[in-house]
Structure 1
Amino acid sequence: MKRVLLIIVMTFIGMNVNYAQEYKANVSNSKLYVSGTSTLHDWECNVKDFQGKVNAVIENGKLVAIKSFDFSFKVKSLDSGKSAMDKKTFEALKEEKYPTISYKGDKVTLNNGKATFYGQMYIAGVSKSFETSVDVNLSNGVLTLKGAEAFKLATFDIEPPTAMFGTIKTGEEVSIHYDLQLTTK
Structure 2
Amino acid sequence: MIMLVSPKYAKYATSLVFVLCSILGFSQEYELENSSSITVSGTSTLHDWTVEVKNQTGKMTVTAKKATDDKIKTGQLSHISVNLFVNDIQGSKGKTMNNKMYRALKKDLFPTITFTSNNPVEFDLIDRNGSVLKNLSGVLSVAGVEKKISTQVKAIYNNKKISLSGELPMKLSDFSIEPPTAMFGQIKTGNDISVNFDLEFVHN
TM-score (norm 2): 0.80
What does 1:1-185 correspond to in 2, within 5 Å? 12=18, 15=22, 18-27=25-34, 29-61=35-67, 62-63=72-73, 64-81=75-92, 82-110=94-122, 113-115=131-133, 116-185=135-204
Which whole-Å deviations, capped at 9, do the CAs of 1:30-53 have from their partners, x for residues lacking one? 211111111111111110011111
Unaligned runs of 5+ in 1: none
Distance between the aligned counterparts of 1:68 and 1:164, measured in 2?
Answer: 44
Unaligned runs of 5+ in 2: 1-6, 125-130
Distance between the aligned counterparts of 2:18 and 2:143, measured in 1?
Answer: 50
- Name the amino acid aligned to 2:88: S
Distance between the aligned counterparts of 2:138 and 2:200, measured in 1?
Answer: 20
Distance between the aligned counterparts of 2:136 and 2:80, measured in 1?
Answer: 9
RMSD over equivalenced CA pairs, Å: 2.2
Which whole-Å deviations, capped at 9, do the CAs of 1:44-97 have from their partners, x for residues lacking one? 111001111111112211152012111010000001022111111000000000
- Name the amino acid aligned to 2:143: A
- Name the amino acid aligned to 2:86: V
Q: Is the 8 A contact 2:105 2:142 kept in 1?
A: yes
Q: Is the 8 A contact 2:76 2:123 kept in 1?
A: no
Larger-Rg structure:
2
Q: Is the 8 A contact 1:128 1:156 kept in 2?
A: yes
- Counting aligned pairs with the same residue, the percent is 32
Question: Cα gap change, 1:157/1:17 in structure 2, threshold over 3 Å: closer, same or farther?
Answer: closer
Moved over 6 A (4+): none
SS at match of 2:46: coil
Q: State the 1:148 CA deviation.
A: 0.9
Distance between the aligned counterparts of 1:34 and 1:131, measured in 2?
Answer: 17
Task: Figure out how many residues of one structure are paired with residues of the other and give that number.
Answer: 179
- Name the amino acid aligned to 1:71: V
